[in-house]
A = this chain, B = another copy of it.
């Protein structure tokens, strides 16, 4: 079975690892913000049982430098480019989407509405999507947080606001203390919890959203094996994003494709919607059930 495999935003830099980038069906950039951000001071990461915490703080050069000097180099890789954008107001999202709308090299814009490491915009997720929608005709994927009582409600809201797809899920806030000092392991205290421990939470979110809206879904959260991909696909995801697994296995996408080719138990995927830029053929939901 073949399902598009992307990286999860912020978990991979295509420019430093072009071979790895070409092993992906699309490259998702680290979240870009209107202005350059230096990010949080170290320590920014800490491993915990079953996963890791991060508080990178959206370090990025800002949209100007991104468009002028990074995007052109990404384009040379010849991999579809998804640009993740983040901001602190509806205007921020609108401004960046407008900038990217003109860039033919950008195939999808992912709206990071859910970074646990930065202050939240005053507007609701739906309002941010509305602003972004008005600024571009490119496919818009809304990336949601699992930290909500009823994610289906959020999914319906961003769908109504004009989102073309969903990216599920972002990290959830977590904290770990040093056993010696009982001080937080991260400079910022709490950070985003990712990795295998996030998997059951991600599956519940994908399931809830797939039932709630008819949008294509990029599923992510602890994906590490072909079996994890089958789980997401059978719940309604049309593609998957690899995050934390790329830190231990840069070639995970290739490995997982191999695992998916090996005949396993046939599964019946939930009715899926093709991810933008991928024909249903290239993301053959049916192949899953027929294998």
Contacts and interface: CB of A to CB of B under 8 A. Distances in A.
B234 A196 contact: no
Contact of A204 (B49, B174, B181, B196): B174
B182 A203 contact: no
Contacts of A231: 177, 182
B182 A201 contact: no
Interface string A125-147: 00000000000000000000111
A174 B200 contact: yes
Contact of A148 (B147, B181, B189, B267): B147
Nearest to A176: B200
Q: Which range contains the number of A residues in contact with the other chain?
A: 35 or more
- The copy count of this chain in the complex is 2
A182 B267 contact: yes
A227 interface: yes
Contacts of A11: none
A193 B182 contact: no
A255 B84 CA distance: 48
Most B Cβ at <10 Å: residue of A50, A146, A181 = A50
A203 B49 CA distance: 14
A208 interface: yes
A53 interface: yes
B197 A50 contact: yes
Contact of A201 (B174, B227, B265): B174
Contact of A227 (B148, B179, B197, B204): B179
A106 interface: no
Given A182-B230, A203-B177, A146 B147 contact: yes
Nearest to A288: B182
Interface string A182-225: 10000001100100110111011101100000000000000000
13 contacts: A48-B200, A50-B50, A50-B196, A51-B200, A146-B147, A146-B172, A148-B148, A174-B201, A174-B203, A175-B204, A179-B227, A182-B231, A182-B268
